[in-house]
Structure 1
Amino acid sequence: MESARHAHPPNLGTLARAYTKILRLRRAGAAPAGGGGGGGGVAPDDDDDAIEKLKLSAKLSEAPMERFFMPEPEKLQFPQHKQKQKQKQKQQQQKASFSEQEEAAEALLASVFASVSAVKAAYAELQLAQSPYDPDAIESADRAVVAELKRLSELKQCFFKKQLPAPPLALPAQVEEQRHVLRTYQITARKLESEIALRDAEVLSARDDLRGAEQRVRALEARLRPGRSLAALDDLHLSGLNPTHFLTALRCAVKSVRSFAKSMAREMESAGWDLAAAAAAAAAAGAGRGAIAPHPAHRRFAFESYVSRKLFSDFHRKGFNVASLDEVGTDWSRRRFFDEFTELKSARAKHFLDAGAPRSPLGRFYRAKYLTLVHPKMESSFFGDLDQRALVSSGRGFPDTPWFAAFAEAARRVWLLQCLFFAFEGEGEGEGEGEGEEGKVTERDRIIFQARRGERFSEVYMESVAENGGGGGGGGGGGTSPIVGFTVVPGFRVGRTLIQCKVYLASGDGRS
């Protein structure tokens, strides 16, 4: 703002000099007339000037003292300065008005966003109420949507008519918007949870359907091959256990052992092995002494004998005499063995190869038997490395290969057979002499046996696996009984029931 111009007050020094000069003139006028040439008189003109100055000095002395001070600034403003000040005030007013309009527009925009968020939340709630159908929730959500749409329409009319309401604060509208956004997320989460529950229900229903289909398949298989499937042991109770159930489980185990032996023979052939020499070595190991060369058509029996001998080793001892299964040998009761059999007999083989399987009793049984049955040179020859053996021995898991899956199925069936074997601690099917106290099956009545090479064939204890013994010699001729070459599958005695062992005859005719 420009400073106002002020009138300068009279100079006091000039007044003092004028006053002194007047005094001098008075003293000169008071001097005696005719002072001669020496007396200097005052010319009339000079007197007039002196009188005028004296009058001026008198007027100044009569003037009030406050006139000599600086006047107030507002009394000295000029029209131009006043105009600029008015313009500045106008600009300030315009700026304040623009700020208010800007705040009103910001609040309006925040209200629009809040209404849109409310519409989204209400629409999400409307969708959620449709499945499952909830008429009350649908009606409530519909009213909320209509109310928010009306509010948006009102805000639109205010904007077009430029009739913005009094500028509220934008912060409450922003808070309301975030609240509706959070509500939308919560509704979406509830919807996803509902969909997950629906999917879980569908999965459970599909599992029930699958379980029913598997039961029907097992029933058909049991009808097609009576006693050849574990489906015949469904709904089995410990009190109704009898040796027929054990015979059914044994047939299933022998079937799996035969399948793995065929897989092993195929791998040998693919690796370029001499099958005749391999079969002779397997038969010699099973015969106990000497060597025997099975007939070419019967080499598979030698491989079955090898696999069966490894898997059934220490079958008569709880936990197969495996160090890692000590708790099975000491803590498991008859009921515990039966529960293990019931739990595992219907499960898929893939279930026992999961991450937690190696730490289970069955998983530890897998590991011990695989390392015994599959020699490192055999695995290296089949697959070119020892990766599967390393994974099994580490205890971290099991290989996901067809080779190990076939082994695991055979081992699982043998494990189930032993569980059923040791469940026969209760009353046997036949009671009478030779049994334990109170008709209980004793250790003497629950045995596993096999025939050694060179023993005479006995129809009571043995069953021939082939119509002709073939090959190996060593039998007597001229109507003598054939002799045993090697045992393919061991025999069992449960109570008074005797299950024959399966043998390969060294000479003569094999009879079943």
Structure 2
Amino acid sequence: MDSVDRRAVTPRKSRWTHTFAKVLHMNRALTGVSSKSHDKVKQDRISQDSKSFEEEDGDEEKLRHRMVMEAFLAKLFASIATVKAAYAQMQFSQSPYDAGGIQAADQRVVLELKNLSQLKQCYRKNQLDESSPEKTQLVAELQEQKSLLKTYEMMGKKLDSQLKLRESEIMFLKEKLEETNRENKLIERRLNSSGLLSVPSHLHLSSLCPDHFISALSQTIKSVRQFIRWMMNEMELAGWDLYLAAEAIEPGVDYLDLNHRYFAFESFVFKEMFDGFNFPNFSLPNESLPEQQKQRHFFFDRFTELKPVKTREYLARKPKSMFAGFCSTKYFRLVHPKMESSLFGNFNQRNLLNAGEFPETNFFTSFSEMAKRVWLLHCLALSFEPQVSIFQVGKRSRFSEVYMESVSKEAFMLTKTEPSVAFTVVPGFKIGKTIVQCQVYLS
């Protein structure tokens, strides 16, 4: 058996032992470092958790403080709303006077003012109620809404009271207006029945001057316009569309104001009533005229004969006169059969005129008074030397301040270009060298 060489084995074993010891030493070193790092991480986590808990506690404290403040403000606003509601009730109870309501509202105001004072002291001393802030806030908001509802209720009652007062005033004013209208109509009837013109009663043919004619013309225009208002009122009562009627009279007119369509009715009535004005007796037949030299006296005598007499009396006394024929002729031209039927539901007035009689209706009375003034103006015009002549201007004529007067002053302010004549409303007259301007509507 061979012997083992110790020198060959021992060095190799020694190397393995040395290597293992070295590795073991390194492992211990690493284990020590790892243990220290773990302890440090653990301490950091504990520190962070502690800070997190502290922050959460701080947030909860802030949130609770905020809720307490919101509850306090809710109580404050609720108390203010209650004061406003009580004050509104106090105002409402003053008219009509309600002693109980005023006393109750006063007590409520005093109570809430005390409550506001207590809230002020609590805020200054920082002694706010921190128990159940959510419930406190909800109760306060409910109280505020109830107070607001009470305030609106008082305001509604006050407005209802004011509305009733206004309605009462409106009824009173309507009654006053109706009474005034009745008085005005009575005065108009008295004026119409008087048949008087603002011309001197002791007027002589030799003393005639343009002022006499202008004065008579002014009264005639007033009478015509009174009849037009009466006629338009009857048309409205009968359900007429006055705007369509005005369009039929003067089609295609660009009115500056819808109310200006009234001038179309004026134009129609003046045109019909003054048609034939330049001719003796308006060219009515069945009467011979004196020779030219005596015609001035003839028409002036007619003027002085008719002027002081009431229209109805004159027509009853002289139903065959030229004036009576003038009334009938102009009525037939002015009032169409369909218009008469629409306004009055019959043809009674037309039938009476055809029979040589004269209606006693208010409408015909107003018409006959207008006709009388036109007839008198005609007789007065033929009494002048030279005779008075009538004129009107055509559509689209240029405006002339010498011969024309605008019935609407807005025409010069509302139109960018120079306005032109849409139609003649009231004719103009020439009295020798004196010009009485015609009245025109411009557009």
- Shorter-chain TM-score bucket reads 0.5 to 0.7
**Paired AA for residue 202 in structure 2:** D
Percent identity for Structure 1 against Structure 2:
46
Q: Distance in 2 between the 1:398 and 1:322 partners?
A: 19
- Conserved 8 A contact 1:283-1:293: no
For the 8 Å contact 2:394–2:424, the answer to whether it is kept is yes
Q: Determine helix, strand or coil for the equivalent of 2:346.
A: coil
Counterpart amino acid of residue 376 in structure 2: L
Instruction: Give me the whole-angstrom Cα distance separating, in 1, the residues matched to 2:315 and 2:292.
Output: 26
Q: Comparing both chains, which one has the higher relative contact order based on Cα–Cα distances under 8 Å and sequence gaps of 6 or more?
A: 2
Distance 1:331 1:415 in 2: 21
C-alpha separation between the residues in 1 aligned to 2:257 and 2:286?
40
TM norm structure 2: 0.53
SS at match of 2:250: helix
- Equivalent position of 1:268 in the other structure: 235
1:367 Cα deviation from its structure 2 partner: 0.8
Question: Of 354, 360, 364, which residue of structure 2 is paired with 1:400?
Answer: 360
> What is the aligned counterpart of 2:298 among 316, 321, 336?
336
SS of the residue corresponding to residue 430 of structure 2 reads strand
The question of whether the paired residues in 2 share the 8 Å contact of 1:230 and 1:345 is answered with yes
Amino acid at match of 1:421: A
**Which residue of 1 is the match for residue 346 of structure 2?**
385
Distance 1:460 1:364, change over 3 A: same
Say which of 374, 384, 387 aligns to 1:414: 374
| Amino acid in structure 2 at the alignment position of 1:305 | S
SS at match of 1:399: coil
Question: Which residue type is aligned with residue 365 of structure 1?
Answer: F
Q: Residue 476 of structure 1: CA displacement?
A: 11
- The separation in 2 between residues aligned to 1:364 and 1:377, in whole angstroms, is 22
Given the superposition, is the C-alpha separation of residues 253 and 332 from structure 1 closer, same or farther in structure 2, using an over 3 Å criterion? farther
Counterparts of 1:418 and 1:294, CA distance in 2: 34
Matches within 5 A, 1:46-445: 230-284=197-251, 290-293=252-255, 295-327=257-289, 333-354=295-316, 356-395=317-356, 397-425=357-385, 441=386
Match of 1:501 among 427, 430, 438: 438
Distance between the aligned counterparts of 1:467 and 1:347, measured in 2?
Answer: 38
Amino acid at match of 2:284: V
Letter in 2 for 1:358: P
Q: CA RMSD in A?
A: 2.6
1:47 match:
none
1:490 has 2:432 as partner = no
Where does residue 401 of structure 2 map in the other structure? 459
CA displacement 1:342-390 (0-9 Å, x = unmatched): 1211222222332x33211110111111111110000000000111011
More deviation in 315-324 or 411-420? 315-324
What is the total number of aligned residue pairs between the two structures?
250
Cα deviation, residue 482, structure 1: 1.2
Give the match's secondary structure for 2:214. Answer: helix
Judged with a 3 Å threshold, the aligned counterparts in structure 2 of structure 1 residues 292 and 406 are, in CA distance, closer, same or farther, namely: farther
**What is the identity, as a one-letter code, of the residue corresponding to 2:320?**
R
Q: Which amino acid aligns with 1:404?
A: F
Cα deviation 1:191-243 (Å, max 9, x = unaligned): xxxxxxxxxxxxxxxxxxxxxxxxxx9xxx9xxxxxxx723422111111011
Distance 1:283 1:489, change over 3 A: same
Task: Encode CA deviations 1:433-486: one digit per residue, 9 max, x unaligned.
Answer: xxxxxxxx3x6xx3211011111111100011122249xxxx9954x4211111
Which ranges of structure 1 fall in alignment gaps of 5 or more residues? 1-216, 222-228, 285-289, 426-440, 507-512
The alignment partner of 2:439 has SS state of strand
Alpha-carbon distance in structure 2 between the residues aligned to 1:325 and 1:502 = 33
In structure 2, distance between residues paired with 1:491 and 1:402: 30
Bigger Rg, which one: 1
1:373 aligned partner, one-letter code:
L
Partner letter of residue 265 of structure 2? F
Amino acid in structure 1 at the alignment position of 2:260: H
Q: Does the 8 A contact of 1:262 with 1:300 survive in 2?
A: no
Q: Which has the higher helix share?
A: 2
Contact 2:306 2:314 in 1 (8 A): no
Aligned mates of 2:294, 2:333 — CA distance in 1: 24
Secondary structure of 1:231's partner? coil
